[in-house]
Structure 1
Amino acid sequence: MPRWSRGFDVDAAARHLRRHDPALAAWIRRIGPIAAEPRWRRPFDPVDALARAILYQQLSGKAAATIVARVEAAIGSARLHADTLARCDDPTLRACGVSGNKLLALRDLAQRESLGEIPTLRQMSVMDEAAIVAALVPIRGIGRWTVEMMLMFRLGRPDVLPVDDLGIRKGAQLVDDLESMPTPKTLAERGEVWGPFRTYASLYLWRIADFAAPAPRVPVKRSQG
């Protein structure tokens, strides 16, 4: 059974993209190198990461961090899991600032963890991207984008292209000097040339979209934890 390593050679990825996509290559030269993500080498707990991703949804980083800190204090642990979340009833978690929908999502995550439905980090090391997506998107409140962020920023998979992400689509629009953002389907087809390093291309597309923005923006928290 094949094992997927966490992370990839960003220099090899840059060479590949420059060689196969002249339009993107011009932006790569303009922006400069993007370093490897340090968290690729750090162990992490998928359940805890997913719980934090749920709590961070649709909030500013500061507001979400405040709520997470309150939850950690209420459960008496920095580890968000079925056993620790079970220490608090629903009203207590709601008092921490957890919305009703997010509470339902946390409880669903915890139940699925208890049933052994959430792959461990070790199990993910022998699962391809499609299998990981299929295992995690049934969790309430967890969509494909959230799983793709885990694949890119925590698992270091080299060939992920989040075609529904607006920043990615805006970056692609600028690379190809298009009048409007490409559709997800068009972007998926366009991105074939970037394989097997579509993750690294995505990192540049986000930078390109930010680089070309007319005014500073609050950075989007794209990964868990």
Structure 2
Amino acid sequence: MWMETVRCKGPYNFDAALDRLSMDPIISLNKIEKSIKVPFVINDMPNVIKVKAFGTTQEPAFEISGNKEAIKEAALKRMGRIFRWDFPLQDVDMHFQKTNIAKIFEQHKGTPIVLEFDLYNCLVKCIIHQQLNLAFAHRLTTRFVKKFGYEVEGVWFYPKPEVVAGLQYEELRDLQFSGRKAEYLIDTSRLIAEGKLNLAELANQSDEEILKNLIKIRGIGPWTVQSLLLSGLGRPNLFPKADIGIQRAIQHHFNLEKKPSYDEMDQYSEQWSPYLSYATLYLWRSIE
């Protein structure tokens, strides 16, 4: 058993992060204890890493622990990336104080973008969630993980792409996947299993390169790629205009009679760059 303390610059509101993460029923967390258990696979071996907050929003501090000393450094590096402890939210906060959504940023001050725990898992979720309401998308994802994934120390791990690649479409249809969504998920997993799609290489590519390459894959469109860039890779300047939640949040905040057009969304968001991803997150938070 090992344990390490990590501190980062404030503001960083871990309670707000846990509140948003708690919307996903597959994630193991405890709001009262201010902790979360993260599934972490390294060298094909599953590990559970516990992250527990004990600081404040202005002076954040975390206790990281795991069972295997040999993976400690790799685990700390991964947790730092997932929870974005090296990204100064003070700069983001100061930027938005001068914008037309300053009130939203004041209400949700210090809310970080927490990345999905694994890039393949993120792509799976993006494919499942596209064109579905959030509640049903989470139910579908939970069924998928509990049917084909595995559990370690009470924490659920997504199945590997090789496992999903070997499934038949009917096996996902039995979980209430549409025929096309079953095909998209299994066929994309086959590309990964066969080495035709290398997710690890995406970190070294620009947003434009990733979009250009991934939309060639059947079932992956701009919304899916943008979601992957934001939630999987943590790119700071993403604004998925096709997202219904973003449209609703803008409509509500600016008291519009109907959902905004893309042109209107461009006008409202002119002030938000280079942190469009944070505007996206905080707009979501404003209606959740």
Task: Give the TM-score taking structure 1 as reference length.
Answer: 0.72
Structure with more strand by fraction: 2
User: How many residues are matched?
Assistant: 195
Which deviates more from structure 2 when the two are superposed, residues 147-156 or residues 96-105? 96-105
Among residues 143, 148, 153, which one is paired with 1:71 in the alignment?
A: 148
Verify: 1:45 aligned to 2:119, yes or no: yes
After TM superposition, give the deviation of residue 11 of structure 1 in Å. 1.8
Cα distance in structure 2, aligned partners of 1:182 and 1:162: 13
Query: Matches of residues 106-117 of structure 1 in structure 2 within 5 Å?
Result: 106-114=185-193, 116-117=195-196
Q: How does 1:125-164 map to 2 (within 5 A)?
A: 125-164=203-242
Is the Cα–Cα contact under 8 Å of residues 226 and 238 in structure 2 kept in the other structure? Answer: yes
Unaligned 5+ runs, structure 2: 1-80, 151-156
Query: Match for residue 12 of structure 1?
Result: 91
- Match status 1:33 vs 2:109: yes
Structure 1 CA distance, aligned partners of 2:242 and 2:175? 31
Q: Contact conserved, 2:104 with 2:283, CA < 8 A, in 1? A: no
CA distance in 2, matches of 1:135, 1:27: 35
In structure 1, the gaps of 5 or more residues are: 211-225
Higher share of residues assigned helix: 1
Kindly indicate whether structure 1 or structure 2 has the higher relative contact order, using CA contacts under 8 Å at least 6 residues apart: 1
Alpha-carbon distance in structure 2 between the residues aligned to 1:176 and 1:90: 44
Q: Deviations over 1:141-197 (max 9, x none)?
A: 222222222222221111111111122122223333333322112212331211001
Question: Matches of 2:108 and 2:279 in 1, distance apart?
Answer: 13
Aligned to 2:252: 174
| Mapping 1:179-190, distance limit 5 Å | 179-190=257-268
| Cα deviation, residue 101, structure 1 | 1.5
Q: Distance in 2 between matches of 1:80 and 1:162?
A: 28
Measure the CA separation in 2 of the matches of 1:128 and 1:162. 17
User: Within the alignment, does 1:84 sit opposite 2:159 as a pair?
Assistant: no
1:50 Cα deviation from its structure 2 partner: 1.9
Q: 1:183 to 1:93 in 2, by over 3 A?
A: closer
Q: Which letter maps to 2:104?
A: W
CA RMSD between the two structures: 2.8
